[in-house]
Amino acid sequence: MPKIPFKQRLDFFLFGWIVNWMYPAYYRPKYGYMSYRKLCFHYAIPQFIFRLNPGAKWPVHFTSTVIAPHKISKGILCDPGDNPQIYIQAINGIILGSNVGFGAGVKLLSANHDPNVHSQHINQSPIQIGNDVFIGANSVILPGVQIGNNVIVGAGSVVTKNLPSNVIAVGNPCKVIKEKPPYKESYKTTQFNRKIPHQLEPYLNKSNCNEDCSIP
- Active centre residues (catalytic): 113
State the Cα–Cα distance between residues 90 and 51, nearest whole angstrom. 19
State the Cα–Cα distance between residues 191 and 176, nearest whole angstrom. 35
Which stretches does DSSP call E strand in 51-166?
65-67, 72-73, 87-89, 94-96, 100-102, 107-109, 127-129, 133-135, 140-141, 146-147, 151-153, 158-159
Q: Are 72 and 90 in contact (CB under 8 A)?
A: yes
State the Cα–Cα distance between residues 116 and 4, nearest whole angstrom. 59
Facing residues of 134 across strands? Answer: 101, 152
